[in-house]
């Protein structure tokens, strides 16, 4: 054969990066409009399908160049853009024929489309000189090289034909290509190799090397290496997919990616032992450490207990479950919860209880944290005293038990020679042990296998067991219910945990979710024990009156029955833990604003303690001792920087707040402190002083304001630098806090006809005064009621009007007994009774006296003094019956400035026992049995013109 090269001139088509056309393959790519127009002219001017030279463009470090090698190609398809298509590009399909090389590629650099400086006369299809390889370059490859190529190609094509992820048509095409390779002769294999590489796919660099390789033998070797690499990748991918599919089930489909990651890590470990997984840690080491930690925690559980038996069984099950299995995480999470709960009784709190100064320290702790609340403190000290007595008794029992154990141990260690004649002594010892067991001083034989064994922890704990009471603090917001629970925890030296039950609607929040549910977990009680780390914490169940009612999620209040029952919570069952939990050592404290929404069975298990509110003096002490220092510290100041005078503080209490608690008072004091903080910051910036420096104007002490003049008596020396004044006077409060909130109401409280002031208890448990207004309008003797009144209070209004109509002649309203005071022939009227604040629902049997006084005042023209407040229900016979909420109502009248309160005679004991002494000394209480006594007390003796003396009420009982 001749080795001479052949030259020819062909139109050139650039293949954009990274497209490469190999001989025997086809390629479709877009071309520009100029190239398309030139190509159309070329096709029109040629008799046959024109032959083109297709050369790929190569990019290297941002520069584009023309590759030296290309292929001759025939046009197989030329597509013009459609009329209605948005794409206006032409598409050209070429079929590769044979390799060619460019004679001088550097001359074509300026003809590359898209370059920064193309030649002005560059042609879209430039004609270039190409060199065809000599005929001897296409000699058949060696036999062994061709056989290796065919073997590798057939294996790869058969694996692709078995790939189920591809379409059926695609798999059938792989099968046909494999048959074609097997039937192809040796001298034609090199041509087939280019087509297979184009079909299977390869990297751009590999294709470029293959295109530039002139020798068929070298090309086959290169293609064999490429196909071998593709075959290895396909085998590894198939192996990973097979490993994943074997362990994949319906429950594990959500963890498909995690399964693939584990299979990839396993394959990497097999190829490179000692390598790290994709998470950066050695595979399996972390899981083994966690499992060992769980085993150690299980071994620390009480021996022979149910929790240890269950935990051991679950640990053995965990070892059999693969880490990739979803159940592995569920079991491990359950074991972590099971081993983290405090199953062993703690003896930490018993040390403080047995000290002689325990009760004194507890009382000092309660007094330091709260002012007043004597009833609550007394009940808390009673409980702590019982705890201390039980602990001392248990300590004595342990001492006696230790003595018996020491004697038994001494007898068993005597000389063995004396045991021969000691049969009687042994019988006496057995009788003594039986007597001790019967008396409860020694454990039974099954709990104590031999006399030499020490007393067990469980036996010592049983002596100390005491059923804690369930305390329920009921009162308005801001009265210190939550902080009182914290003080009790500090006094007992126990951990404190708060559970907010407001809005809880799911029973599982209390009992926990069953393990069959996805993302299940224990309830709030088990979580609190885990965080506390002890079996005897103080748990505050906050807002127990706002627990959701029964629904399709269960009844949370019913679930609390087992928790708050001392007879049942010894073995509380959490659905997730599924092992009885002892809650008998937990001190539960519940808080609520009202008892109306608490289920009666739940209320029956609690010991209710009322926190009605604070008086003015108590609020002053609380503000001085707690609120003012707290706000000063929170706002970056110290005590010398802000000093409130007594008149200013009293003015805040009486004119800016009128609540049962102290939250609004704390906010008002915080506003004053922040105002002074702004002044101090400006003063410090102006004078260049450090923020911790003391103000120039200091007072060694603050005297109370003079009662007559209200002027503050100032002590100390005044420095020449008086740029900042730490003293807050009463006159500055309006500038700081704005207008007084309750000044307008006090000005409106004047003696008016048809208006009296009643006492009510709001839905939050706060007592306050409310006006009962009445007017007469032209009408027909009807009664009109407004103010969002309930059925009970409407009946009280009808009773009041009926009693007034019956006794209108005695009161001097009518001239005849049978005359209706509302239906006078000259002027019939209607009575309109109104209770302000119509947006608030009002109901309850306690407004009868106030309504009678309002109607009598309206019809007689007499006025009730505005400093008089009243409450009480009436009967149709004119008797005044007892009402509830006396303490809240009296404190509300005290805050409102009422000096005289009219109450039913049956409530006099409530005033003596519940109302603070300072309020009783400042308020005049009038206790009445009948409506006439109530009218005389309200209007004053002799004010109403009674025509006849009403005969005494005589009752007959059958």
Active site residues: 846, 889
Total residue count of the chain as it appears in this document: 958
CA-wise closest residue to 701 among 727, 732, 669, 675: 727
Q: How do 26-31 and 90-102 pair as beta strands?
A: antiparallel
CB-CB neighbours of 164 under 10 Å = 8
Contact assessment for residue 673 and residue 649, using Cβ atoms and an 8 Å cutoff: no
Contact 862, 587 (CB under 8 A): no
Contact criterion met (CB below 8 Å) for 611 and 481: yes
Distance CA 594, CA 764 (A): 7
The 8-class DSSP code of residue 863 comes to B
DSSP symbol at 656: I
Rounded Cα distance, 220 and 187, in Å:
12
DSSP class of residue 420? G
The rounded Cα 839 to chain-centroid distance in angstroms is 33
SS3 460: helix
On whether the CB atoms of residues 848 and 873 are closer than 8 A, the answer is yes
Interatomic CA distance for residues 594 and 610, integer angstroms? 10
Cα–Cα distance measured from residue 819 to residue 683, given in angstroms and rounded to the nearest whole number: 77
The DSSP bridge partners found for residue 554 are 551
Query: What crossing angle do the helices spanning 481-492 and 358-369 adopt, rounded to 10°?
Result: 160
Cβ atoms of residues 39 and 94 within 8 Å: no
Q: Which two tokens stand for residue 879?
A: 């008797």
Going edge to edge, which strands form the sheet with 868-870?
A: 783-786, 829-834, 767-778, 755-761, 868-870, 900-904, 924-928
CA distance 669 to 869: 30
Cα gap 175→164, rounded to integer Å: 13
Peptide bond preceding 11: is omega within 30 degrees of 0, i.e. cis? no
- Please, how many CA atoms are within 13 Å of residue 466, restricted to the half-sphere of its CB? 18
Residues 6+ apart with CB under 8 A from 429: 408, 411
Distances, alpha carbon 597 to alpha carbons 506, 549, 565, 605, 935, in Å: 17, 9, 19, 15, 36
Residues 295 and 338: their CA atoms lie apart, in Å, by 12
Q: How many CB atoms lie within 10 A of CB 532?
A: 20
648: nearest Cα among 699, 710, 701: 710
CB 118 within 8 A of CB 110: yes
Radius of gyration in angstroms for the set of CA atoms belonging to the chain, rounded to a whole number: 49
């Amino acid at each position: 054969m001749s080795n001479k090269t052949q030259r020819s001139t062909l139109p050139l088509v650039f293949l954009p990066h990274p497209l490469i056309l190999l001989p025997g393959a086809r390629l479709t790519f877009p071309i520009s409009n100029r190239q398309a127009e030139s190509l159309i002219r070329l096709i029109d001017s040629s008799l046959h399908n024109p032959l083109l030279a297709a050369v790929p463009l190569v990019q290297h470090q941002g520069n584009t160049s023309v590759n030296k090698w290309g292929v001759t190609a025939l046009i197989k398809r030329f597509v013009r853009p459609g009329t209605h298509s948005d794409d206006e590009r032409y598409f050209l399909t070429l079929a590769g024929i044979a390799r060619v090389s460019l004679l001088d590629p550097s001359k074509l650099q300026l003809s590359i489309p898209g370059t920064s400086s193309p030649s002005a006369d560059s042609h879209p299809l430039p004609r270039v000189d190409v060199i065809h390889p000599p005929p001897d370059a296409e000699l058949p490859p060696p036999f062994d090289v061709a056989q290796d190529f065919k073997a590798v190609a057939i294996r790869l094509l058969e694996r692709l034909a078995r790939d189920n992820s591809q379409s059926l048509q695609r798999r059938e095409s792989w099968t046909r290509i494999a048959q074609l390779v097997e039937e192809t002769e040796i001298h034609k294999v090199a041509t087939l190799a280019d087509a297979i590489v184009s079909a299977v796919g390869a990297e751009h660099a590999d294709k470029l090397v293959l295109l530039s390789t002139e020798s068929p033998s070298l090309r086959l070797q290169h293609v064999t290496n490429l196909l071998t690499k593709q075959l290895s990748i396909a085998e590894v991918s198939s192996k990973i997919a097979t490993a994943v599919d074997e362990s994949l089930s319906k429950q594990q489909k959500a963890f498909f990616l995690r399964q693939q990651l584990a299979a990839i890590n396993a394959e990497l470990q097999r190829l490179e032992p000692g390598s790290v997984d994709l998470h950066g840690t050695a595979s399996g080491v972390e899981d083994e450490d966690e499992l060992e930690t769980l085993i150690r925690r299980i071994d620390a559980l009480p021996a022979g207990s149910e929790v240890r038996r269950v935990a051991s069984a679950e640990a053995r099950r965990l070892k059999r479950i693969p880490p990739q299995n979803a159940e592995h995480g569920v079991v491990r999470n359950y074991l972590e919860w099971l081993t983290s709960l405090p199953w062993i009784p703690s003896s930490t709190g018993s040390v403080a209880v047995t000290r002689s100064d325990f009760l004194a320290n507890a009382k000092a702790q309660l007094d330091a944290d709260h002012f007043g609340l004597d009833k609550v403190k007394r009940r808390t000290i009673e409980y702590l005293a019982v705890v201390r007595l039980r602990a001392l008794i248990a300590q004595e029992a342990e001492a006696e038990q230790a003595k018996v154990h020491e004697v038994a141990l001494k007898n068993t260690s005597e000389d063995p020679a004396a045991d021969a004649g000691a049969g009687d002594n042994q019988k006496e010892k057995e009788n003594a042990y039986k007597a001790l067991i019967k008396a409860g001083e020694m454990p039974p034989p099954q709990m104590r296998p031999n006399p030499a064994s020490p007393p067990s922890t469980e036996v010592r704990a049983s002596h100390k067991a005491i059923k804690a009471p369930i305390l329920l603090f009921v009162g308005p917001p801001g009265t210190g219910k939550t902080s009182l629970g914290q003080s009790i925890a500090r006094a007992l030296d126990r951990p404190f945990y708060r559970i907010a039950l407001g809005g809880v609607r799911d029973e599982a929040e209390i009992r926990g979710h069953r393990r069959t549910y996805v993302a299940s977990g224990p309830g709030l009680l088990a979580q609190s024990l885990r965080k506390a780390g002890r079996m005897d914490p103080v748990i505050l169940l906050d807002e127990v009156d706002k627990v959701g009612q029964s629904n399709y999620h269960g009844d949370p209040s019913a679930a609390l029955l087992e928790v708050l029952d001392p007879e049942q919570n010894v073995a509380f069952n959490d659905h997730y833990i599924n092992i009885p939990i002892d809650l008998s050592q937990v001190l539960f404290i519940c808080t609520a604003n009202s008892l109306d929404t608490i289920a009666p069975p739940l209320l029956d298990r609690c010991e209710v303690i009322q926190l009605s509110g604070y008086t003015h003096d108590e609020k002053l002490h609380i503000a001085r001792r707690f609120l003012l220092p707290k706000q000063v510290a929170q706002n970056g100041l110290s005590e010398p920087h802000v000093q409130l005078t007594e008149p200013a503080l009293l003015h805040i209490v009486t004119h800016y707040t009128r609540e049962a608690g102290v939250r609004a008072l704390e906010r008002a004091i915080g506003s004053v402190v922040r105002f002074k903080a702004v002044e101090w910051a400006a003063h410090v910036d102006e004078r260049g002083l450090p923020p911790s420096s003391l103000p120039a104007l200091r007072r060694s002490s603050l005297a109370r304001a003079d009662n007559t003049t209200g002027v503050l008596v100032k002590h100390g020396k005044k420095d020449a630098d008086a740029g900042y004044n730490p003293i807050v006077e009463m006159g500055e409060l309006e500038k700081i806090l704005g207008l007084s909130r309750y000044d307008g109401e006090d000005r409106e409280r004047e003696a008016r006809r048809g208006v009296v002031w009643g006492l009510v208890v709001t839905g939050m448990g706060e007592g306050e005064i409310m006006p009962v207004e009445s007017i007469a309008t032209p009408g027909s003797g009807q009664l009109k009621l407004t103010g969002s009144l309930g059925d009970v209070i409407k009946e009280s209004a009808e009773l009041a009007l009926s009693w007034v109509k019956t006794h209108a002649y005695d009161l001097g309203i009518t001239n005849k007994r049978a005359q209706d005071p509302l239906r006078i022939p000259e002027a019939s009227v209607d009575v309109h009774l109104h209770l302000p604040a119509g947006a608030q629902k009002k109901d309850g049997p306690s407004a009868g006296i106030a309504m009678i006084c309002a109607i009598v005042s309206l019809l007689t023209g007499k006025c009730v003094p505005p400093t008089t407040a009243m409450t009480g229900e009436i009967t149709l016979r004119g008797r005044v019956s007892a009402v509830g909420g006396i303490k809240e109502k009296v404190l509300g009248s005290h805050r409102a400035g009422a000096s005289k309160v009219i109450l039913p005679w049956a409530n006099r004991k409530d005033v003596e026992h519940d109302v603070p002494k300072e309020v009783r000394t400042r308020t005049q209480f009038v206790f009445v049995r009948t409506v006439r006594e109530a009218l005389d007390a309200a209007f004053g003796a002799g004010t109403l013109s009674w025509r006849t003396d009403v005969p005494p009420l005589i009752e007959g009982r059958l």
